[in-house]
Amino acid sequence: MMMTGHMGYYILIGAIALVSWLVSNQLKKKFAKYSKVQLRNGMSGAEIATKMLADHGIRDVEVISSPGRLTDHYNPTNKTVNLSEAVYNQRNAAAAAVAAHEVGHAVQHAIAYQYLTMRSKLVPVVQVTSSMSQWVVFGGVALMASDALGAAGQYVAIAGLVMMAFATLFSIVTLPVEYDASNRALAWLKNKNIVSQEEYKGSEDALKWAARTYLVAAIGAIASLLYWALQVFGGRD
């Protein structure tokens, strides 16, 4: 009975995984396309990141090259904008978009943007709970089916749901952080005439697809949490 009960969960996860794959596939295609749109000003991703930091009066953040592809991120601990080798060195609309987006996070950090602060506080909690939450819920639900351990099982399952809720909250808080960083990046690229109109369209489209990957992840996390909450609190036969 438990296997059929969880069939819906596997269908849900499968559907989300499929949408996630389609979005990330589209993102790769967009980045490949806009990597061919060379910047008329000839600036590399590293130069764009450095200029955007300077324009925002941020002097304590370093721009460094990080090995691999799609490894771009801002590290608030050591205040570094880490750009993948391609983004660091290349001079195209995709590199400009990514470099400016990561500096957007550095700007958020400098002004103590509330959602970034909240997200940073959730990081240590989620690192501990996210990998085990599903197993704790799963185990709790399994125990709930037993007459002797049903009540204890519900407490275990609720503990797992709380862990899962932190991961879901993290996914939701990530959305404004990512969208805001992209908006800051695009506003700066436009206002400072760093990119032409055609280059801007490419940068905007690339960042739009990047943001959609976070949106799919958040929807997946919410759907997962709701599914397990229904298993724990819903009418069980």
Strand order across the beta sheet in which 80-84 lies: 62-66, 80-84, 73-75
- The span from the CA of 206 to the CA of 101, in Å, is 11
As beta bridge partners, residue 83 has 65
Is 102 an annotated catalytic residue?
yes
Is beta strand 80-84 parallel, antiparallel or unpaired with respect to 62-66? parallel
- The span from the CA of 68 to the CA of 76, in Å, is 20
Taking Cα atoms as reference points, which of 66, 103, 102 lies closest to residue 84? 66
Tokens of 136: 């704790």
- The span from the CA of 216 to the CA of 174, in Å, is 12
* Selected catalytic residue, list 47, 62, 102, 204: 102
- The span from the CA of 179 to the CA of 211, in Å, is 6
- The span from the CA of 157 to the CA of 107, in Å, is 40
70 Rama class: left (phi>0) / alpha (psi -120 to 50) / beta:
left
Catalytic site positions: 102
